[in-house]
Amino acid sequence: MREPAWRRAAPWLALIAWLVVPPSIWPQSWLLAWLSQTAAMIVFALSYNLLLGETGLLSFGHAAYAGLGALIAAQIFNRFAVPLVLLPLIGGLGAALCGVVFGFVSTRRAGTAFAMITLGIGELISAAAWTLPDWFGGEAGVAIDRTHAAALAGWTFGPAREAYGLIASWCLLASVAMFGLSRTAFMRLANAVRDNPARAAAIGCYPRRVRHGVVVLAAFFAGIAGTLGLIDVELVSTESVGMMRSGAVLIATVIGGTASFFGPVAGAIVLTFFSVVVGSMTRAWLFYLGLLFIVIVMASPDGLAGFARRHGARIDAWGWRGCRGFYLWASAAVLLLGAAVVVAVQWAYAVQFGADDGTVVAGLFTLPALPALPTLPASAQSIASGSGAWTLGLTLTALAASGAFAAHAALRARARLHASTGLRAHASQSTDGDAP
């Protein structure tokens, strides 16, 4: 059965609302910076999914195309002062040229060999970034000034809000282009190469040419994403081509889900939320991101998009009233167990690094000082000893016990739901059998 039109349009409306509504209501500088990073990461993750989700190519060097595209765009902008609105297109074309060269080498093999070749290419480019300072800028990188370009309809793109408007517009344009690309016959060939390359070759397809073409297209959109980041921070550095960024886009894509077009969009939003919002509050944000990644891979291998699709089908089948008890108990369990993990992790970081690095649990459980523990920071001594430790222990026990009880209640609610559904199905079959 075909999906209703409103459900197909809902992800696009949600993406537009995400990019447009928050800066219109609350145009704070930090919010614009976060949304700009999110928009660039959305394009980056969608470009990576052309490789991983559509063609089955696991790449460990995708950041090389984003970084090289941004670098080429920065060099051309500084030399020729091209219009800023065309800069993402220039960065995309520059990255596509790099994709033609590097893709010719990497697509000679598939599977694990392709992943290792891309890893080597990524490390090669990262090393070149440090050994060619005249081109890559060395430690300082290559900077641009957005205001040097000609104004467009009164927009100089100097203010953060105007720059964000350009970034959001290109994000939507690139997303629409990749969505249309995913519906073409060429990407259907890429899906065939992903699923069964031998059969695809038997019907006259050339798997290596298809992979090479997808690498070039993915590099083009990765170059656009890298250039959007350049417009945001007005700098491209050697870190732009490093392994950390390639790993980040891989994590975002897997968290969101590779089987759905909008899965990487959700993953990009989650990743930037952790790196910007959570990272501004605690240095443990990488721990939380890694923990979330493990939980999603184990509990929902098809990512957040697959999780939402399954539970949407459950609500359609059983109705919201039937599922209400299960979801309320499950939400309570997630919140309580998550709070227990946060309290424990923040306490451990406070003991290790002190309470003055952004951790909040130290302040909650700090009581009058007890005999000094010389091996611990002074700000964490009262946490690790005496009544402060007792308070922390009781809090963790209460949160964990309450979360376990809520999880047990959620499992019981789901079992009752399955049982009632089975009884209704059995009754329906019996009625159909008695009918003349």
pLDDT tens sequence across 373-386: 344 444 444 544 55
Q: What is the pLDDT of residues 397-412, one digit of tens each?
A: 899 999 999 999 988 8
The helix/strand/coil state of 142 is strand
User: Mean pLDDT of all residues in the chain?
Assistant: 85
Give the mean model confidence (pLDDT) for residues 255-269: 94
Give how far Cα 30 sits from Cα of 39, 103, 129, 160, Å.
14, 37, 30, 10
Task: Report the share of the chain in percent with pLDDT over 90.
Answer: 53
Query: Is it the case that residue 233 has pLDDT exceeding 80?
Result: yes
pLDDT of residue 313: 82
| Cβ count near 356 (within 10 Å) | 10
Per-residue pLDDT averaged across 339-357, rounded?
79
Residue 32: phi and psi, rounded to 5, are -65, -40
Instruction: Report residue 160's pLDDT band, with 50, 70 and 90 as the boundaries.
Output: confident
With both helix axes pointing from N to C terminus, report the angle between 112-131 and 87-106 in degrees, rounded to the nearest 10.
130
User: Averaged over 120-146, what is the pLDDT?
Assistant: 86
The tens digit of pLDDT for each residue in 356-373 reads: 554 444 444 443 333 333
Q: If pLDDT is split at 50, 70 and 90, which confidence band does 81 have?
A: confident
Q: What local confidence, expressed as pLDDT, does residue 369 receive? A: 37
Cβ–Cβ < 8 Å for 235, 4: no
pLDDT for the residue numbered 55: 94
> What is the pLDDT at residue 129?
85
Q: Cα dist. 280→28, 272, 315, 358 in Å?
A: 15, 11, 36, 8
What confidence category does residue 340 fall into, taking pLDDT thresholds of 50, 70 and 90?
very high
Residue range 115-144: average pLDDT?
A: 87
Cα dihedral sign for 89, 91, 94, 99? negative
pLDDT tens string 411-421: 888 888 777 66
Over residues 145-153, the mean pLDDT reads 78
Structure tokens at 365: 């459980």
Per-residue confidence (pLDDT) for residue 387, from 0 to 100:
55
Instruction: Assign domain 5-308 one CATH number from 3.30.70, 1.10.287, 1.10.3470, 3.40.50.
Output: 1.10.3470
Predicted local confidence at residue 435, as pLDDT: 40
pLDDT at 266 over 90: yes
Rounded CA gap, 418 and 144, in Å? 60
